[in-house]
Amino acid sequence: MTAQPSQWIRNFVDGAFVEPDPAHAFDAVDPATGVAYARVHEADEQIVDRAVRAARRSLADGWANRSVGDRAAILRRAADLIEERFDDFVAAELADTGKPVTQARSLDVARAPMNFRAYADMVSATGQESYVTELADGRRALNYAVRKPLGVVAIIVPWNLPLLLLTWKVAPALACGNAVVVKPSEDTPGTASLLAEVLAEAGLPRGVYNVVHGFGADSAGAYLTEHPQIDGVTFTGSSATGTHVMKTVAPRVRPVSLELGGKNAAIVFDDVDVDEAVDGLSRSIFTNTGQVCLCTERVYVQRSIFDAVVAGLAAKAASLRLGVPMDGATTTGPLISQKHRDKVLGYLDLAVAEGATVVCGGGVPEMSDELDGGSWIEPTLWTGLDNSHRVMREEIFGPVAGLVPFDTEDEAIALANDTEYGLASVVWTSDLRRGHRVAAQMNVGLSWVNTWYLRDLRAPFGGVGLSGIGREGGESSLHFYTEPTNVCIQL
Residues marked as catalytic: 259
The interface with ligand NAD within residues 261-280 (CB under 6 A) comprises: 261-262
Q: Which is nearer to ligand NAD, 156 or 439 (CB)?
A: 156
Ranked by CB distance to ligand NAD, the top (closest) residue is 216
Query: CB of 447 within 8 A of CB of 416?
Result: no
Sign of the CA dihedral with 332 first, then 337, 340, and 341 last = positive
Beta strands (DSSP E) in 225-342 are 232-236, 256-259, 264-268, 296-302
- Cβ neighbors of 300 (< 8 A, separation 6 or more) are 265, 266, 267, 268, 403, 404, 405, 406, 412, 415, 416
Site string for ligand NAD, 365-404 (x = CB under 6 A): ------------------------------x-x-------
Per-residue CA distances from 11 to 19, 21, 55, 470 (Å): 8, 11, 14, 29
Query: CB of 441 within 8 A of CB of 466?
Result: no
Q: CB-side exposure of 366: number of CA atoms within 13 Å?
A: 0
Q: Which is nearer to ligand NAD, 205 or 262 (CB)?
A: 262
Binding status of residue 417 toward ligand NAD by CB under 6 A: no
Q: For the chain, first and last CA: distance in Å?
A: 73
Interacting residue with ligand NAD among 183, 227, 263, 298 (CB under 6 A)? 183
Binding status of residue 200 toward ligand NAD by CB under 6 A: no
Site string for ligand NAD, 277-296 (x = CB under 6 A): ----------------x---
Interacting residue with ligand NAD among 92, 260, 313, 442 (CB under 6 A)? 260
Q: Which is nearer to ligand NAD, 225 or 476 (CB)?
A: 225
Site string for ligand NAD, 140-159 (x = CB under 6 A): ----------------xxxx
For the chain, helix (H) and strand (E) counts, in that order, are 15, 21
Query: CB of 483 within 8 A of CB of 131?
Result: no
Q: Which is nearer to ligand NAD, 378 or 472 (CB)?
A: 472
Give which of 222, 269, 274, 270 is closest to 245, Cα–Cα. Answer: 222
Q: Which is nearer to ligand NAD, 61 or 226 (CB)?
A: 226
Binding status of residue 329 toward ligand NAD by CB under 6 A: no
| Amino acid present at 361 | G
Tell me the C-alpha distance between 447 and 436, whole Å.
10
Q: Give the CA radius of gyration of the chain.
A: 23
Interacting residue with ligand NAD among 216, 232, 325, 334 (CB under 6 A)? 216
- Minimum CB–partner distance for residue 284 and ligand NAD (Å): 14
Binding status of residue 259 toward ligand NAD by CB under 6 A: yes
The interface with ligand NAD within residues 452-481 (CB under 6 A) comprises: 463, 468
Site for ligand NAD, rule CB under 6 A: 156-160, 165, 183, 185-186, 215-217, 221-222, 225, 236-238, 241, 244-245, 259-262, 293, 395, 397, 423, 463, 468
